[in-house]
Amino acid sequence: MPFFLLAFSFGRPAMNKQNRLSSPLRSAVLLLLALFPSRSLLAQEPQPDPSNTLVTYVKMVDVGVTVTDASGKFIDGLRASDFQLLDNGVERPLSAFALDVPTDVLVLIESGPAVYLIESGHLRAANGLVLGLSAKDRVAVAKYADKPAGVSDFSSDKKVAAKAFESLNFNLGFGALNLSDSLSTVLDWLDRTPGKKTVVLLSTGVDTSDPEANARLLGRLRVENVRVLAVSLLGELRTPQAANKKKPPSNAAVLAAEQFAKADETLHQLADASGGRVYFPTDSKAFTAAYQEVAQVVDHQYSLGFSPAELDGKVHNIKVQVITEGQGSKPALSRDKKESSTLHVNHRQAYIASTQASPGPQ
Mean local confidence (pLDDT), 94-103: 90
- Domain for residue 196, yes or no? yes
On the question of pLDDT at 36 being above 80, the answer is no
| Residues 223, 109 within the same domain | yes
| Residues 135, 251 within the same domain | yes
12-28 in b/e form (b: 16+ CB < 10 A) is: eeebeeeeeeeeeeeee
For residues 200 and 342, which has the higher predicted lDDT (pLDDT)? 200
On the question of pLDDT at 127 being above 80, the answer is no
| Residues 183, 132 within the same domain | yes
- Give the total number of structural domains in the chain: 2
How does pLDDT run across 106-119, given as a tens digit for each residue? 999 988 766 655 55
**Which residues pair with residue 184 across a beta bridge?**
none
Domain that holds residue 322: 52-100+301-352
What pLDDT does residue 41 have?
A: 28
| Residues 107, 95 within the same domain | no
Q: What is the 3-state secondary structure (H, E, C) of the chain?
A: CCHHHHCCCCCCCCCCCCCCCCHHHHHHHHHHHHCCCCCCCCCCCCCCCHHHHHCCCCCEEEEEEEEECCCCCECCCCCHHHEEEEECCEEECCCEEEECCCEEEEEEEECCHHHHCCCHHHHHCCHHHHHCCCCCCEEEEEEECCCEEEEEEEECCHHHHHHHHHHCCCCCCCCCCCHHHHHHHHHHHHCCCCCEEEEEEEECCCCCCCHHHHHHHHHHHHHCCEEEEEEECCHHHHCCCCCCCCCCCCHHHHHHHHHHHHHHHHHHHHHHHHCCEEECCCCHHHHHHHHHHHHHHHCCCEEEEECCCCCCCCEEEEEEEECEECCCCCCEECCCCCCCCCCEEECCCEEECCCCCCCCEC
Dihedral angle of Cα 53, 54, 57, 63, to the nearest 10 degrees: 130
Give the CATH number for residue 342: 2.60.40
| Residues 184, 37 within the same domain | yes
On the question of pLDDT at 44 being above 50, the answer is no
- Domain for residue 231, yes or no? yes
| Residues 192, 89 within the same domain | no
How does pLDDT run across 310-336, given as a tens digit for each residue? 888 899 999 999 986 444 444 443 345
- Domain for residue 359, yes or no? no
Give the CATH number for residue 34: 3.40.50.410
On the question of pLDDT at 167 being above 50, the answer is yes
What pLDDT does residue 304 have?
A: 94
What pLDDT does residue 174 have?
A: 52
How does pLDDT run across 138-161, given as a tens digit for each residue? 999 999 988 999 999 999 998 898
On the question of pLDDT at 83 being above 50, the answer is yes
For residues 79 and 48, which has the higher predicted lDDT (pLDDT)? 79
Mean local confidence (pLDDT), 221-245: 77
**Which residues pair with residue 230 across a beta bridge?**
201, 278
- Domain for residue 212, yes or no? yes
How does pLDDT run across 260-289, given as a tens digit for each residue? 899 999 999 999 999 999 999 888 788 888
| Residues 161, 252 within the same domain | yes
> Is the pTM for the entire model greater than 0.85?
no
- Domain for residue 358, yes or no? no
On the question of pLDDT at 43 being above 60, the answer is no
On the question of pLDDT at 101 being above 80, the answer is yes
